[in-house]
Structure 1
Amino acid sequence: MKKQLFILLAFLAISSLNAQDFKTLTYFVNDSTKLELDLFLPKTKSKEKLPLLIHVHGGGFSGGKREDGHHIAKYAATQGYAAASITYTLYMKGKKFSCDGKLPEKVKAFQIAANQLWQATLFFIKNSEKYSIDTNKIFISGSSAGAETALHAAFWDRNAMALYPEKLPESFKYAGIISGSGAIMDLNLITKKNVIPALFFHGSCDVTVPYATASHHYCPPGSTGWLMLFGSYSIYNHIVDLNGTANLYTFCGGGHEYSDELFAKQPQEITSFMARVLRGEKEQSHTIINTGKACAKGEYNFCE
């Protein structure tokens, strides 16, 4: 009997160690779509409501999964943040997303994903008491397509671009944004009125999502999928011109493989940035990191 009890207790202990440290929640449902997120919460309860990070994975709007954001969400939770990695509609799955794609389809992919990020945000606003969320301290982040999602969610006109009837409060504003190898379709979307603190990181030789200003995938004019994009370097300089808070990490010689770099390998940079924002610190900094790589012939190298 004692042996059986010991085995049972050992099994329960192992099960406890292997238990999921996140909750999977449905944040949006309609007749055709069901979307989930994985929510990580600090193990130590706080008397104060928690700041929140909502992360959007990459994958060219055709691949990836919310588990790809678990590393940053899990780390953020250890630093006192609630953190969620979301599922969103992979609208470009089975479609062409490069130069031979269709421009309206690319824009639609951005719009659907941004709207679903708004819905995830709305979910937490509605459930702020249940999960102890401070709705004035909601950050968004993303890698590659996820970064493009976050950037457009932060700066698009939410009324003009809305796809769903339920909308965020008119007065709502994200506390800040973290963008890994992302870009925005129009710098003029970012104004003195709506600018928020931003942290960017990007490879200087990225030919998938431009580091500065260029067409998506550097497509030649006349391509059916031609889309002008303003990358991290251009957005950083624009926010600096607006006298906003902005930080840029440039991985010199790096390509699109750096789109998850800080989230996966230096997550302390993410939580440190959010902490400084919450303390009200204003900063403008550009950190250049030499990767030891060089741009391929014909590629742009903004570090030279």
Structure 2
Amino acid sequence: MKKILLLFIALTFNNIQAQEIKTMTYFQNDSIKLDLDLYLPKKKANEKIPLIIFAFGGGFSGGERTGEKDFGIFMAKNGYAVASISYTLYMKGKDFGCKGSLTEKVKAIQLGVSDMWQATSFLIENANKYNLDTSKIFISGISAGAEIGFHASFWDYKLMNLYQNNLPQNFKYAGFIGGSGAIMDINLITKEKAIPMLLAHGNNDNTVPYNAGSHRSCPTNASGWMILFGSYAVYNHMNELHKDIELITFCGGGHEFSGYLFHQGQQYVLDFVNDVLKGKRFESHVIIPSEKKGAGNGKYLFCE
């Protein structure tokens, strides 16, 4: 029994040593200081490491970059670096719902996206120090973080960035992994700008629409009304463009599935980034019945 226990401890120690976690400040000005946690795999000589940048969820008012530590460790054990970033929580103390301001909602997203671009620039500038492959940078996020990921991937960087323009010219993320996210203008995703995507979403999500719809299901006369195009709308659009996308739909599920890919579905993420880097083409729609199946309103009949 003692030998088994010692072996377990040794294996656990070796797994911990298989990666390291570094915390660093990626952006600072007179009013804000933003950090990131960089999960690094065990280094191999002369081999550059692909990177996944992650943004947490929380409605731009809460959340912590340390919340997905298990995801960072899992990917590092499998040869990927993960940078989990802090970003501006502009909506803290404000209403991000139907009674809020559309202008404030857009500004919250723009600030988060600008922070994501700053983090990306910082990591590119320090790539040699951490052995990162700047041609293989993925972007990912949950809910609000996925909205950051969508817009950081497709907004005009020079037009929308609130800080200095310091990303390489023609920079493009290698792929996007999003949990229950959405984009304000689906036409931003063009054939030229499209990148491979792995998305997961509950089709009965009343917070971030699964298809095209209003944020938080707000009525059109609400001050905080904002149209969003969710994962299913993006999936259909990408199919029309003949671009690579995988969608996981939780039939009857709500916003509680926003973190699935980074918790129970980590293997989906690993398979996705491996497939993208191998140049594999794909288009798939996985439907998973949720515990709430039958509670839906029958709006998306393909789930039945």
> Normalising by structure 1, what TM-score?
0.91
What does residue 196 of structure 2 align with? Answer: 197
State how far apart, in whole Å, the 2-side matches of 1:301 and 1:18 are. 44
Cα shift at 1:21: 3.8
Cα shift at 1:166: 3.3
State how far apart, in whole Å, the 2-side matches of 1:46 and 1:186 are. 43
Show CA shifts across 1:230-253 (max 9, x none). 000000111111111000000101
What does residue 207 of structure 2 align with? Answer: 208
Please show how residues 133-282 of structure 1 align to structure 2 within 5 Å: 133-282=132-281
Partners of 2:158 and 2:165 within 8 A in 1: no
State how far apart, in whole Å, the 1-side matches of 2:84 and 2:170 are. 24
Partners of 1:56 and 1:69 within 8 A in 2: no
Look up the equivalent residue of 2:163 and give its one-letter code.
Answer: Y
What does residue 4 of structure 1 align with? Answer: none
Cα shift at 1:69: 2.4
State how far apart, in whole Å, the 2-side matches of 1:199 and 1:16 are. 31
Look up the equivalent residue of 1:67 and give its one-letter code.
Answer: T
Q: What secondary structure, in the 3-state scheme, does the structure 2 residue paired with 1:41 have?
A: strand
State how far apart, in whole Å, the 2-side matches of 1:15 and 1:164 are. 42
Instruction: Structure 2 unaligned segments of length 5 or more: list them.
Output: 1-11
Look up the equivalent residue of 2:167 and give its one-letter code.
Answer: L
Q: CA distance change for structure 1 residues 26 and 189 in 2, over 3 Å: closer, same or farther?
A: same
Show CA shifts across 1:201-225 (max 9, x none). 0011100000001000111111000
Verify: 1:31 aligned to 2:30, yes or no: yes
Look up the equivalent residue of 1:94 and give its one-letter code.
Answer: G
| Percent of residue pairs bearing the same amino acid type | 54
Partners of 2:57 and 2:143 within 8 A in 1: yes
Look up the equivalent residue of 2:284 and give its one-letter code.
Answer: S
Cα shift at 1:298: 5.6
State how far apart, in whole Å, the 2-side matches of 1:17 and 1:188 are. 44
State how far apart, in whole Å, the 2-side matches of 1:15 and 1:251 are. 36
Q: CA distance change for structure 1 residues 215 and 299 in 2, over 3 Å: closer, same or farther?
A: farther
State how far apart, in whole Å, the 1-side matches of 2:236 and 2:74 are. 29
Q: What secondary structure, in the 3-state scheme, does the structure 2 residue paired with 1:243 have?
A: coil
State how far apart, in whole Å, the 2-side matches of 1:150 and 1:44 are. 27
What does residue 125 of structure 2 align with? Answer: 126
Partners of 2:137 and 2:175 within 8 A in 1: yes
Partners of 1:205 and 1:299 within 8 A in 2: no
State how far apart, in whole Å, the 1-side matches of 2:61 and 2:111 are. 13
Cα shift at 1:159: 1.0
Partners of 2:208 and 2:230 within 8 A in 1: yes
State how far apart, in whole Å, the 2-side matches of 1:232 and 1:17 are. 35
Q: What secondary structure, in the 3-state scheme, does the structure 2 residue paired with 1:22 have?
A: strand
Q: CA distance change for structure 1 residues 223 and 279 in 2, over 3 Å: closer, same or farther?
A: same
Q: What secondary structure, in the 3-state scheme, does the structure 2 residue paired with 1:35 have?
A: strand
Partners of 2:252 and 2:296 within 8 A in 1: no
RMSD after superposition: 2.0
Q: What secondary structure, in the 3-state scheme, does the structure 1 residue paired with 2:114 have?
A: helix
Partners of 1:56 and 1:141 within 8 A in 2: yes
Q: What secondary structure, in the 3-state scheme, does the structure 1 residue paired with 2:237 have?
A: helix
Q: CA distance change for structure 1 residues 135 and 224 in 2, over 3 Å: closer, same or farther?
A: same
State how far apart, in whole Å, the 2-side matches of 1:220 and 1:176 are. 33
Cα shift at 1:64: 0.3
Cα shift at 1:60: 0.5
What does residue 10 of structure 1 align with? Answer: none
Cα shift at 1:296: 4.6
Partners of 2:102 and 2:223 within 8 A in 1: yes
Q: Which runs of 4+ in 1 moved over 3 A?
A: 14-21, 294-302
State how far apart, in whole Å, the 2-side matches of 1:109 and 1:211 are. 21
Look up the equivalent residue of 2:272 and give its one-letter code.
Answer: F
State how far apart, in whole Å, the 1-side matches of 2:55 and 2:242 are. 27
Verify: 1:85 aligned to 2:84, yes or no: yes
Q: What secondary structure, in the 3-state scheme, does the structure 2 residue paired with 1:160 have?
A: helix
